């Protein structure tokens, strides 16, 4: 079993819809990252969380440390949001090495 | 713009060859990690360097090796390339004292034929 699990693996939405991506992990972590990867490969860090909630524009990320769960929400989705969204955790026992989920491929149709 | 530059962006090699991928980080970023991302999968940790010494390694064979230089650049070397080495290779660097914030390069896409 992977230490970081994401769901769904694929998601298709219509422009304007509210999107939620989930991430569950099974180990103690010091921080959790949400990353965005567009076709072509480059990864952009969206959020780093260790507790609570963060908001940036139409993106909201939440984390529940007790439940070992985080969600990334996209409000009023737009075709330019189409990308792979990756959850990655910094495992306490493993120093600063990121362990990644498998990613969620999001397609927003106009 | 993350300040982390990888070169080349794309590379084609044949089985058995050797390859060197490069990563240039921001000044003061003395920790660099390398990741391999196969098509359709999440990145996998290869190894990390801190102050020019290897500081942890994932489940990759010894033919994957690295170097980190005092000018905040680093290399990933892969010997005896195999077809399964075809992937996107990402480097990420972080600043001393803020090592939980990693800045990613755009990656090098390696194709092994």
- pLDDT tens, B63-111? 999 999 998 899 999 999 999 999 999 999 988 766 667 788 889 999 9
Instruction: Determine the residue among A2, A51, A98 to mutate to test chain B binding: the one whose Cβ has the most chain B Cβ atoms within 10 Å.
Output: A98
Cβ contact (<8 Å) for A48 and B94? no
Smallest CA-to-CA distance from B44 within A36, A40, A98, A9 is with A98
B22 part of contact set with chain A, CB < 8 Å: no
Contact B55, B32 (CB under 8 A): no
Nearest 5°: phi and psi at A96? -110, 30
Cβ contact (<8 Å) for A96 and B101? no
Residue given tokens 């769904």 in the structure block: A8
B19 part of contact set with chain A, CB < 8 Å: no
Smallest CA-to-CA distance from B2 within B37, B26, B30 is with B26
Task: Give the number of residues written for chain B.
Answer: 113
User: Can you give the pLDDT at residue A10?
Assistant: 96
Q: Widest CA span of chain A, in angstroms?
A: 44
- Mean of pLDDT over chain B: 90
* Cross-strand bridge partners of residue A33: A48, A88
User: Can you give the pLDDT at residue B39?
Assistant: 85
B31 part of contact set with chain A, CB < 8 Å: yes
Q: Would you tell me which residues 31-90 of chain A have a C-beta closer than 8 angstroms to some C-beta of chain B? A: 31, 33, 35, 40-45, 48, 86, 88, 90
User: Can you give the pLDDT at residue B95?
Assistant: 81
Smallest CA-to-CA distance from A21 within A109, A110, A107 is with A107
* DSSP element (H, E) containing A10: strand A10-14
Q: Would you tell me which residues 36-95 of chain B have a C-beta closer than 8 angstroms to some C-beta of chain A? A: 37, 41-45, 48, 55-56, 58, 88, 90, 92, 94
A5 part of contact set with chain B, CB < 8 Å: no
A51 DSSP 8-state letter: S
pLDDT tens figures, A75-110: 999 999 999 999 999 887 766 678 899 999 999 999
User: Can you give the pLDDT at residue A95?
Assistant: 64
């Amino acid at each position: 079993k992977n230490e970081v699990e994401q769901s769904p693996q694929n998601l298709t939405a219509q422009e304007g819809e509210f999107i939620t991506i989930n991430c569950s992990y099974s180990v103690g972590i010091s921080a959790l990252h949400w990353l965005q990867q567009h076709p072509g490969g480059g990864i952009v860090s969206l959020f780093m969380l260790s507790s609570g909630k963060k908001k940036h524009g139409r993106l909201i990320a939440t984390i529940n440390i007790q439940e070992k769960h985080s969600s990334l929400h996209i409000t009023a989705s737009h075709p330019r949001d189409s990308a792979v969204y990756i959850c990655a955790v910094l495992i306490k026992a493993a120093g600063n090495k990121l362990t990644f989920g498998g990613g969620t491929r999001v397609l927003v149709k106009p | 713009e993350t300040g982390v530059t990888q070169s080349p962006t794309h590379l084609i090699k044949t089985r058995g060859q050797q390859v060197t991928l490069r990563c240039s980080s921001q000044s003061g970023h003395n920790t660099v990690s390398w990741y391999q991302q196969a098509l359709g999968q999440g990145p996998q940790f290869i190894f990390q360097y801190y102050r020019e010494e290897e500081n942890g390694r994932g489940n990759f064979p010894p033919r994957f090796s690295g170097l980190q230089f005092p000018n905040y650049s680093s290399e990933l070397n892969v010997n005896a390339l195999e077809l399964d080495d075809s992937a996107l290779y990402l480097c990420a660097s972080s600043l001393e004292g803020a090592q939980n914030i990693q800045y990613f390069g755009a990656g090098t896409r390696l194709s092994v034929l």
